[in-house]
Structure formats: C-alpha cells, structure tokens
Chains A and B, each alone.
Chain A
Amino acid sequence: MTALLEVHELAKAYGGVHAVRGVSLSVASGEIVAFIGPNGAGKSTCFNMLNGQIRPDAGTIRLDGRDIAGWPPREVWRLGVGRTFQITATFASMSVIENVQMVFLSHAGRLGRLWGLATRSERERAQELLSLVGMSAQAGRPSAELAYGDLKRLELAMALANEPELLLMDEPTAGMSPRDRVELMALIAGIAREKNLGVLFTEHDMDVVFRHADRVLVLSRGRLIAEGKPDEVRSNPEVQAVYLGEGLTYHDGAGP
C-alpha cells in the first residue's frame, strides 16, 4: 500500500538556524498521526511546508505519489488537503455559514462568477457541515464575534468542505477548555475514521495525543527523534528527556 502522504528528507533553514532537518514521515488514509515536540521544534515550519506556505530547501512531499514540494497552498488544497491554523484564520466580515459556503464555492470553481448571490449557493451542505461540528446554532452570527473554541470548530468545518483526503491541523484544540479539547478531538477522530481521511496534527495536550493518535512522531530541534505507537513513544527515554528535561539543573539536590 502506498501512503497518502509521503515526506522524504524535508529541510528548511533560516539563515544559520536549521528549523527542519531531514524529516521523513508518512500518513496513510484513515490514519491519525500526531506530531509533537517542544516549542520551537519545527512543527509549524513542517506544516507550512506540507501545505505550501513555505518552500522547502530540500526534500520531497508526495501526495498520492505526486511531488508537491514548492506548490502554492491553493494548488495543494485543490489536490484535497484541508488545513487549520494554529492561530485561526477565518473571514471576519462574513457570517459563520458564509465562511463555509466560500469553501464550497471555491471547490466548485464558482468564485469567479460576477452574478448571483453568493449566499444562496450551497446553504444546505454548509448547514449540514456546521451541524456535524456542532455549530449549526451559530450559522448566522458574524464570525468576528465567535469565541475561540468555536472559531476552531468553524475552521474544522472549512477544512472539511472540500472533501479532503488529508487534514493538516496545527494545534486544533489550542486555547480551548480541557473538556472541549477532548470532545473536539473525538469529533475529528470520528470524522476521519468514517470518511477514511488521513490526519496529521500537532498538539501540546498529551491527553488528546495519546487518546486519539494511531501513531506519534516526535520532533526536537528540527529532527525526528522518535516515531511509533503512543505507548512506545511514551516510554522512549529520549522523548522523556526532551519533554521532562534531562535533570541537569537538579544535580546533587542543588535545586533549580
């Protein structure tokens, strides 16, 4: 079986800083992969290369066997990649449902039309998708006034609207309450399994990661240092060192 997403030796440097060095990974359809690592490990840089926002210095990114490294985001999206952002990006001057309608319209290639009311198209499908993510009651509200957790849900709906094969989610539950986090991640996992989507997500909340991920990748200082089932990764000494510190400052009980 060929993987849905296959990344080989991806690298990116800013000046002298190697943000990402030789990262290889793969995601299969229906598989949920967590991408973890401390702040500054290079997760977001990796993500931004995968959906085309940043051009990699080296390496290949194969989606369904096609190398898309260096493609602009809009073309990566057309191949069926949905994306949510660490800091949500929605259309603030539009209502919640209009945000989702935009994605449907774009997917159908109809955003170039100069006539007709944009808000009349795709209402039912947008409404359906909003109820799927638990936002149907908010459909008519201006998206500018949504709470942060709801913005994350809206982004999820927008990411799903082009019927993607792969979801890239950068901290999908950041800024939410613990209960909402678990709930939203369960929702994402449910949708992914039902629609056989590949999901790659970054996350700081380990509860979320270990409960839902099929596989975990650990990134530290731009390198992949561990990969495996959640339990294997959890017991990996290198990962523990990265996450918990190596205890260097606690020598001889000297204290911090």
Chain B
Amino acid sequence: MQLLVVQFLSGLASAASLFLVASGLSLIFGVTRIVNFAHGAFFMIGAYLAFTLTDEFSGPLGFWGGMALAAILVGLLGGLFEILLLRRIYRAPELFQLLATFGATLVVQDLVLLIWGPEDLLAPRAPGLAGAVEVLGKRVPSYDLFLIVLGPVVLALLWLLLHRTRWGVLVRAATQDRDMVAALGVNQKWLFTGVFALGTFLAGLGGALEAPREAADHTMDLRIIVEIFVVVVIGGLGSIEGAFVAAILVSLLNAFGILILPKISLVLVFLLMAVVLVIRPWGLFGKKEGAARISGGATASVWKPLDRDGRLVALIFVAAAALAPLALGPYGLAVATEIAIFVLFAASLHLLVSVGGLASFGHAAFLGLGCYGAALTVKALGLPMLPALVAGPVLAAVGAAVIGWFAVSLSGVYAAMLTLAFAQILWSITFQWVPVTGGDNGLLGVWPSPWAATASHLYWLTLTLVVVAVTGLRAIIFSPFGYALRATRDSDLRSEAIGIDRRRVQWRAFVIAGAGAGLAGALFAFLKGSVFPDTMGVSTSIDGLVMVLLGGVETVSGPIVGAIVYKLLSIWLVSHTDYSKLVLGLVIIGLVLIFPKGIAGSLRLRRLRRGVAARQKAPA
C-alpha cells in the first residue's frame, strides 16, 4: 500500500513536466499544423541551460531565477527558429516542416555535446525543497510535491491565457480555422511566432524542472519526443486539457507498469495509445481534423513510366552499380551494399507516403521485422540464407498487415503517430524479450551462406534483389492498383464514389510496403552479421522519411536519389567529422530551404520550366 502511494505520487510528479512539454507541442500543432519534431530538442536545451544557470547562480533567487531564465531563453530561441526557418516553409508540404524540425534536432544534439560535453549533468536541488516529506511512513521528495501542485497551476494559467486574453482568443480561433483568422486581418506571422515561442518556452520549462530530478543527458530529446507524441495523441492534438489528462495517465501507467508488469512495462503506454486511437480516433479530448493533409499534395504534372531515354539511363546506372566491385574495396562495397538496402527501404516507404499519402512515422518497424525474421530463421531454426531472405519479408508483411489494419482507419497525423506507436511497441518487445531477441545485446553471427559470403557476392546479391524489388514497386505504382492507391490520396470522396474501397486499398499498400522494407531488413541483417533493437528505433524511421522527402514526394524516382544522397552523406560525415549530426542537420535544413520540392522534384520542376520557356520561344 505504502509503495503504491509513493509510486502514485512519483508518477504525478513526472506528469507535470510531461504535461508542460506536451501542451507546448499541442499548442504549436493546433495553430501552425506543424508536428514539431524539435520539441524534444528544446526540452533538452531547457534542462542543460537550467543546469548551467542554477550552477552559476546560487541561493533561492539564483535557482528559481535560473529556472525561469532557462525557460525564457528556450522560448526566445524557439521564436527565432520560427522566424528564421519555419516562416519560409509554411507553404511547403507538411512533412517538409517535419523534416526541417528534424534537422534542427540533429544540430541541437551535437551542439549540446559540444557545449556541455558527454557527461550526465544533474542540477542542484531546489533551495527549500531539498528535503522530503513523510507520507504514510515513506519519504517523498518535497520537490515532487511541488511539481504535483505546479501541473494544475500551469494548466489553469494556460486556460486563463487562452480564454481570457485577446491573444488567447486568436490562438483558439486559429486552431479551428487559421485561414479564416488570416482573412479577418490578423497578422498570422506574429501569431505563429508567438505560439511557437510559447510552446517552446513550455518545453524549456519542462526540461528545466526535470533537471534537478533526473540527470540531463544527450539522448533525452528523442526519449521525450516519443513520450509526448503519445501524450498528445492520447489527449487529442491541440487540446491542453487533453494533454494534462493524458500526461497523468501515461505517467501513472509508467510508474505502476514497472511494479506490476516489469517485463512489458515499455509496451503498456503504447498499447494504451493504440487502444485509445482505435476507440476514439481523435484522442480523448480531440476533435476530428479538418481536411488538412499531411501528404505531399497534388502536382500539376502527371506521373509517367520511364520513356526510352529514362530506361536507358536507369540501365546504365544499374550496369555501373554492378561494376562497383571492380573499383571498390571491402569497406566501399559494404557501404554500397548498405546504400542499396536503404534505396529499397526508402522506395517502400515512398509507396505509402507519396503514392498513398499515408505518412508513416514507424516504417523502421518493418525493416526491423525483416531483420529479426531473417536472423531468427538462421539462429533459431538453423536454416540457411535463402529461406531467411524469404522469412524476413514475410514476417514484415504480417506485421504490416496488423499495423496497417489499425492505421487505415485513422487519418493524417493520427495515423502517422499510430505507426510510430506500433514501431515503439515492437522496439520494446525486442528490447525486453531477451530469451528470443537477445534484448539490448541483439542477435549476433547472422552470416550469409558461403556462396554469398564475400563482399562482392553479397553486394551483387543485394543489388539484384534491390533492383528487382524497386522495379516491382515502380511497376505497382503504374499498375491499376497503384492508380487506385493514388486515387484514394487525391480524393477520398471521388474514389469512394467510383467504387474504390479506400481502406482495403491502403491496407494492401501497407502490406506491400512492409514486405519491401522487410526484404531490405533481411539483407541488412546479413550485411551486418547481427541485428539490434535500434534498427527499428525512431531515428531509422525518420531517416527513411528524410530520404523520401529529400528526393521529393511528388516524384517517382525521388526516394532512390534521396536514399543515395542521404546515406552517402551521413556515412561520409561520420567518418570525417566528430560532429556529423551537426553538419547533417544543417545540410537537411539547407536542402529544405533550397529545394522545397525535394531534390528530384526541384530538378524536374526546373526541367519543366525550361521546357515551357523553350516552347514559348520556338514559335514566332
């Protein structure tokens, strides 16, 4: 009983900071429709700044002033980020804004490492709240009790701000219909900046308040981002009250999950999210989303299969790739093999994101299932490579069938978040189911059969399978099914009115894309000789999205270009600089600003423009 009460209070205390961060994300999304992936980064900066400031200035004033200053600085930084970067890309497809905020996350990760070093940093205890209070014979930190009170206070303040001030009314109006607010003569720019600053301020405050409780480390941004995505989705995007209730639910589930079901504690929260989304697709307090789309949107030029020249270029390209073993050593070939694998991964995600308009934040789940499917076939069943290369995609397709079944009944961001949740569930399972998956240690010794064991043989095998699979995916895009999938993206209304069963079509797309990513995963397992849970982590999913978006969602060949460029760049950076994330992040941000249509998309647009110009010149 005593233990339960203590866990309960500790859970409530964690909920406070979670609520602060999540409400900021929710506010930002509500008004700007941006899924701010950098929110975790702002949270992290808040924690580190709070450490430095409270370390610098001592005494009660120094501590509390330092906390407040940390949050304010983060808010200012957020405002600056909005003005300098996001403002330029509000007109780009929504996923592009996600890409920009992801770039910022990478930059911040390395900056934090540069400024504060790799050690975990714990801020000093709060003056006056350093002790503990006895509750039912157990000692509960007074700081925790302070946080428990703070949560509702912040909720009340936010409520007052949103309901009792003119600015708050504008924010709520913009959450409902931002175009109408703009039409009524409100300067949207400053409203957006203000909301972004407030949202990041809350993230910074959340981070600062956690600093004396838990040591700040440089992976806290990705940890919290997954958690607040879950909170925001359970509570309902754009709802502050929802974020509050969901933060408490999630924190309590975390606190008690460890007591009751330690083996599957990580899974519980994501299960809760999946259940909520299935019962209430827009979260507990959320409202049905408007027509806002997360996909790339329509183009003014029509997709066409490659013409003769295009096929020739593709053929030359594949032939050149096949000759790579003549020029590259074992390391170079391993890199080339990995790039080929990620081309397939990106192409499979492209089928969902670009063709189907289904944003998936959890595509790495299928890559991971392919990895583990292949690895377990070799390790547990003792079968050779070929059956494993079949088992990987099959397992991934089964997983995709399950995840897809849930995802296609939701729309937009919610579906994307659901895929993220499922990917995290799978990650937790592989992490915690040690007897089968080896947990954190992974499965080692997944080597190719002797006939494919040399670097060049494995490369050729991979290249062959990838070329066949990518060609297959391309053929599907232009097949009747591919058209039906695109039809559901273009107009749900019209496709239903001509007899297309949207869910069924999109579900099949999930299965096909899952199998494709699964094949990539199986090959990846043999390339590395081992598999680890991190393969299906958030960052792999985001990598995939970056590749697709860099290539250009509105193109057919985009993911191939995107995967090659991104993978080459990140591998090259890792081997040439200690701050690869910093450079990569800056490159991503730069690319987003220069090529708002993606690399392949922008090149094609330029070609089109030149074509039009030439045509205009030709006739007299």
A118 to B302, CA, bound (A): 13
**B480 at interface, CB cutoff 8 A:** yes
Closest residue of chain B to A84, judged by CB?
B497
**B300 at interface, CB cutoff 8 A:** yes
* Size bin of chain B's contact surface: 20 to 34
Residues of the B chain whose Cβ atoms lie less than 8 Å from the Cβ of A116: 479-480
Q: Is the CB of A93 within 8 A of B480?
A: no
**A60 at interface, CB cutoff 8 A:** no
Expressed in whole angstroms, the minimum distance between the Cβ of A174 and any Cβ of chain B is 16
Q: Is the CB of B481 within 8 A of A113?
A: yes
**B187 at interface, CB cutoff 8 A:** no
**B577 at interface, CB cutoff 8 A:** no
**B475 at interface, CB cutoff 8 A:** yes
Expressed in whole angstroms, the minimum distance between the Cβ of B520 and any Cβ of chain A is 19
Q: Is the CB of A74 within 8 A of B491?
A: no
**B487 at interface, CB cutoff 8 A:** yes
Interface of B is mostly: helix
**B305 at interface, CB cutoff 8 A:** yes
Partner of B499, one of A94, A107, A145: A107
Expressed in whole angstroms, the minimum distance between the Cβ of A78 and any Cβ of chain B is 6
Residues of the B chain whose Cβ atoms lie less than 8 Å from the Cβ of A166: none
Residues of the A chain whose Cβ atoms lie less than 8 Å from the Cβ of B499: 74-75, 77-78, 106-107, 162
A98 to B298, CA, bound (A): 15
Residues of the A chain whose Cβ atoms lie less than 8 Å from the Cβ of B491: 89-92
A110 to B302, CA, bound (A): 21
Q: Is the CB of B302 within 8 A of A93?
A: yes
Residues of the A chain whose Cβ atoms lie less than 8 Å from the Cβ of B302: 93-95, 98, 142
**A83 at interface, CB cutoff 8 A:** yes
Expressed in whole angstroms, the minimum distance between the Cβ of B507 and any Cβ of chain A is 12
A59 to B493, CA, bound (A): 24
A144 to B301, CA, bound (A): 8
Q: Is the CB of A106 within 8 A of B494?
A: no
**A206 at interface, CB cutoff 8 A:** no
Which residues 152-202 in A have Cβ within 8 Å of B in the complex? 158, 161-162
Which residues 18-70 in B have Cβ within 8 Å of A in the complex? none
Residues of the A chain whose Cβ atoms lie less than 8 Å from the Cβ of B567: none
For chains A and B in complex, what number of residue pairs have CB atoms within 8 angstroms? 114
Q: Is the CB of A106 within 8 A of B484?
A: yes
- With A91-B491, A98-B302, A142-B300 known as contacts, the answer to whether A77 contacts B481 (CB < 8 A) is no
- With A78-B499, A102-B487, A142-B301 known as contacts, the answer to whether A91 contacts B480 (CB < 8 A) is no
Q: Is the CB of B497 within 8 A of A83?
A: yes
Closest residue of chain A to B504, judged by CB?
A112
A142 to B505, CA, bound (A): 23
A145 to B480, CA, bound (A): 23
Q: Is the CB of A111 within 8 A of B496?
A: no
- With A78-B499, A117-B305, A145-B300 known as contacts, the answer to whether A91 contacts B494 (CB < 8 A) is yes
**A73 at interface, CB cutoff 8 A:** yes
Which residues 105-134 in A have Cβ within 8 Å of B in the complex? 105-107, 110-119, 121
Residues of the A chain whose Cβ atoms lie less than 8 Å from the Cβ of B305: 117
Expressed in whole angstroms, the minimum distance between the Cβ of A85 and any Cβ of chain B is 7
Residues of the A chain whose Cβ atoms lie less than 8 Å from the Cβ of B301: 142
Q: Is the CB of B481 within 8 A of A73?
A: no
Expressed in whole angstroms, the minimum distance between the Cβ of B308 and any Cβ of chain A is 15
Could you list which residues of chain B lie within 8 angstroms of chain A, going by C-beta atoms?
298-303, 305, 475-476, 478-484, 486-487, 489-491, 493-501, 505, 508, 512
Could you list which residues of chain A lie within 8 angstroms of chain B, going by C-beta atoms?
51, 53, 72-75, 77-78, 83, 85, 89-95, 98, 102-103, 105-107, 110-119, 121, 142, 144-145, 158, 161-162
List the 6 shortest-distance A-B pairs measured between CB atoms, nearest first.
A92-B298, A89-B494, A91-B490, A111-B484, A118-B483, A89-B493
10 CB contacts below 8 A, A to B, read A72-B496, A90-B491, A91-B487, A92-B490, A94-B487, A95-B302, A112-B484, A113-B479, A114-B479, A117-B478
